[in-house]
Amino acid sequence: MTTTSTIAYIGLGSNLSEPIEQVKNAIKAIRKITQSSILSVSSLYLSKPMGPQDQDNYINAVLSLETSLSPIELLDALQAIENEFGRVRKENRWGARILDLDILLFGNQVINSERLVIPHYGMTEREFVLIPLAEISPLLQLPNGQNISSLSQNISVNSMIKLSEY
């Protein structure tokens, strides 16, 4: 039996407990996910929080990952990393967090289940997703045919700052 692999894109974010280190350590942890291999990692970006503004700014990045895991297996692996880092899931969806790992895209799949929505909802309205995504994969297209580069060029930067290469 041959296993097929898929390229997935993962969004990373943190605004608690030394967020730059949280994101860098999360990338190291993602490298250890079974049946998966990181292809590229964007620069780190400093961005304003989406929700309540009475929290620290976020460090964000996006990485591409070749994996033979299913979308749910990858989600389980990413949530295990979040839990290992001390992520606490609260009612406050937009609150501060030690680590947030989101599957943005999984090949060209469109998934809309209770646990997982791919493409990630709202990703086309988030500069901290589109700009790092275009940095590592400028020719990428969403399943609906939208081009990441043109989406990233047409979004407001909202004071986001490119900090450094990973």
The number of distinct structural domains making up the chain is 1
Degrees (nearest 5) of the Cα angle 34, 72, 101? 75
Q: Is residue 146 part of a domain?
A: yes
Q: Is residue 94 part of a domain?
A: yes
pLDDT of 5 over the 80 cut: yes
Question: Count of alpha carbons within 13 Å of 131, Cβ hemisphere only?
Answer: 21
Tell me: cis bond preceding 119? Omega within 30 of 0 counts.
Answer: yes
Give the structural domain span for 81.
6-164
Q: Is residue 134 part of a domain?
A: yes
Summarised one tens digit per residue, pLDDT across range 37-48 is 999 999 999 998
pLDDT over 70 for what percent of the chain? 90
Q: Please identify which residue in the block is written with the tokens 């190291």.
A: 28
Q: Is residue 90 part of a domain?
A: yes
Could you list the active site residues?
Answer: 87, 97, 100, 102
Q: Is residue 1 part of a domain?
A: no
| CATH number of 85's domain | 3.30.70.560
Q: Is residue 18 part of a domain?
A: yes
Distance of alpha carbon 46 from alpha carbon 23, whole angstroms: 12
Q: Is residue 149 part of a domain?
A: yes
Q: Is residue 41 part of a domain?
A: yes
Question: How, if at all, do strands 36-41 and 100-106 pair?
Answer: unpaired
Predicted TM-score (pTM) of this structure: 0.92
